[in-house]
Amino acid sequence: MPVKYKVTEKTQPGIVGGGKRKFYALPVISGDLILDRMIKRIEKISSLSGGDIHAALYELADIAIEGLAEGYIVHMGELGNFRISLNSEGKDSPDEVTAAAIKKFSIIYTPGPRFKEMLKNVKLQKV
């Protein structure tokens, strides 16, 4: 199934008055595939109950959060990997870099092999 995209006009960021307007492609979002819907799909193709799938996925999230907090890269097989990243202020000496210099945390996601393959083979459809 192709990834649908639409065309939108945007101004140049950071330029007073918007600068030259250009056209860009944006993906068309079909909605949300929520956890409950995914659980129902898994339930149809497996021998597990919805409650078992739900519990396992929530525990997986808990364990992944613990691992990230402990400084691990969390490998999720075909889903990919998650790791913590941080942004800090630059300082003139190593001694000046303290916890107060850290301004933001984020989680970096690296797709797994099947996700990367999907991205290589994606078909597009303009709407």
Residues 9-30 have a mean pLDDT of: 87
Rounded distance, CA 29 to CA 32, Å?
Answer: 8
Q: Are strands 22-27 and 80-88 parallel, antiparallel or unpaired?
A: unpaired
The answer to whether 49 and 55 have CB atoms below 8 angstroms apart is: no
44 band by pLDDT with thresholds 50, 70 and 90 = very high
Q: Where do the structural domains in the chain lie, given as residue ranges?
A: 73-112
Reported as a single tens digit per residue, the pLDDT across 87-118 is 999 999 999 999 999 999 999 999 999 999 99
Residues 67-95 have a mean pLDDT of: 96
76 band by pLDDT with thresholds 50, 70 and 90 = very high
